[in-house]
Amino acid sequence: MPARLRPADPTDAAAALGRVLHAHDAGERPPAEDLRLLVRHSLALLLARAPGRSVEVRVPPYAAIQCVPGPRHTRGTPPGVVETDPLTWVLLAADRMTWATARESGALAASGERTDLSVYLPLLPSAQAAPGDPAGSDDGPS
């Protein structure tokens, strides 16, 4: 397990989210460095929102965490495991894909107790920004 994750600078995260969503909407591959930043950032936010050690969330190759209150996992297979790819995780964290859709499509695997993380989503507050406004800071005329 990597050292404790820390949220990224909000401006950097918002810019990366804008680029990832723009690429996804255009049918292009999002930049790997942006996916890495957003996965690590959103997992750090999830740790803060759902502290605990009963569910292991894996988003290879960028990060894995243990979170969600409940029985502590120390050795062997955790009581709950969630695993998905980086783009699916970012889309979930940005409220651009539902938990049910990700599971039904096979893009997300979740097994064990407490693995429905939809109650903790979205994690990226700038996710409501329009594709042309990645920072989500344009609230109208100044």
Work out the end-to-end distance of the chain between its first and last CA atoms, rounded to an integer number of angstroms: 45
pTM for the whole structure = 0.85
pLDDT tens across the length of the chain (142 residues):
445 799 999 999 999 999 999 999 999 999 999 999 999 999 999 999 999 989 999 999 999 999 999 877 677 777 899 999 999 999 999 999 999 999 999 999 999 999 999 999 999 975 444 444 444 433 333 3
From 19, 55, 13, 11, select the one nearest 38 (Cα to Cα).
Answer: 13
- In the chain, the domains with their CATH numbers are 10-124 (3.30.1050.40)
Q: Which two tokens stand for residue 111?
A: 């097994």
What is the structure's pLDDT at 22? 97
In whole angstroms, what is the distance from residue 57 CA to residue 64 CA? 5
**Hey, how many other C-beta atoms are within 10 angstroms of the C-beta on 100?**
11
